[in-house]
């Protein structure tokens, strides 16, 4: 039970305190990759601690260190033993663990489906409005607003408007498009999708690109 309490306390700390500390930290501007990695690790550890806390309550600590075979036997015995399952703490821990997994699966699926639908609609609009420029390696959209972004996916591409092309020097255009191509190569949209799945919410369609 002590292990379950420690994991639950850590989960609450990681969910409530760590995000505030990271937002206030001055070093995140100097090391954005490290900051993103820490943010992702903190959010993933919240889910892991919740599952492990439920697991620690449901499975006796005496069998955890007996190897995988012993652990699987204990889990099978737990599910088949009505007397054990009738214990309030065991039932609650199983329900909590199941709810955490179900919510993660639901939000993850919802984020992926919504993002795919938004990208498909956006790609259809770009097919009508944009024109591929081989020299730039990007889609050019005739629009006065100065915009540049990337549309991820299997056929992902960078997008830039004519307003941006007119206002930027050639070397600046190259730097902007290289930045967007880096987003595509790094598959940063998957990193965002994982964070959104754990947060249980989607960004607005206007910010669906990279």
Rounded average pLDDT per 10-residue block, the chain, 210 residues: 77 82 84 83 83 72 50 52 52 73 81 86 89 91 93 87 94 94 86 75 49
Cβ neighbours for 179, distance < 8 A, ≥ 6 positions apart: none
Contact 150, 156 (CB under 8 A): yes
Compute CA 73 distance to the chain's CA centroid, rounded to the nearest angstrom.
33
Q: What are phi and psi of 139, to 5 degrees?
A: -85, 130
What is the reported pLDDT for 158?
Answer: 93
Q: Please give the pLDDT value at position 208.
A: 45
pLDDT, residue 172, reads 94
pLDDT score of 150? 92
CATH of 122-210, one of 3.30.2010, 1.10.4100, 3.40.30, 1.10.8: 3.30.2010
Helix (H, G, I), strand (E, B) or coil at 60: coil
Specify whether the CB–CB gap between 84 and 78 falls below 8 A.
Answer: yes
Strand, coil or helix: what is 30? coil
Residue intervals of the chain classified under CATH 3.30.2010 are 122-210
Computed from CA positions of residues 146, 151, 155, 158, in that sequence, does the dihedral angle turn out positive or negative? Answer: positive
Handedness of CA 80, 86, 89, 93 (dihedral sign): positive
Q: Which two tokens stand for residue 24?
A: 């206030």
């Amino acid at each position: 039970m002590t292990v379950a309490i420690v994991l639950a306390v850590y989960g609450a700390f990681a969910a409530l305190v760590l995000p505030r500390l990271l937002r206030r930290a001055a070093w995140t501007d100097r090391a954005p990759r490290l900051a993103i990695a820490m943010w992702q690790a903190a959010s993933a550890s919240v889910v892991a601690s919740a599952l492990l806390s439920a697991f620690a309550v449901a499975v006796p600590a005496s069998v955890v260190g007996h190897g995988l075979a012993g652990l699987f036997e204990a889990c099978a015995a737990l599910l088949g033993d009505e007397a054990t399952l009738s214990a309030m703490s065991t039932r609650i821990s199983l329900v909590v663990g199941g709810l955490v997994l179900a919510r993660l699966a639901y939000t993850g699926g919802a984020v992926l489906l919504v993002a795919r639908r938004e990208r498909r609609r956006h790609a259809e609009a770009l097919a009508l409005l944009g024109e591929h420029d081989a020299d730039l390696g990007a889609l050019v959209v005739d629009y006065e607003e100065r915009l540049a972004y990337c549309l991820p996916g299997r056929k992902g591409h960078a997008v830039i408007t004519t307003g941006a092309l007119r206002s930027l020097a050639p070397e600046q255009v190259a730097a902007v498009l290289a930045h967007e191509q880096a987003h595509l190569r790094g598959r940063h949209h998957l990193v965002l999708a994982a964070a959104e799945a754990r947060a249980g919410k989607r960004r607005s369609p206007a910010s669906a690109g990279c």
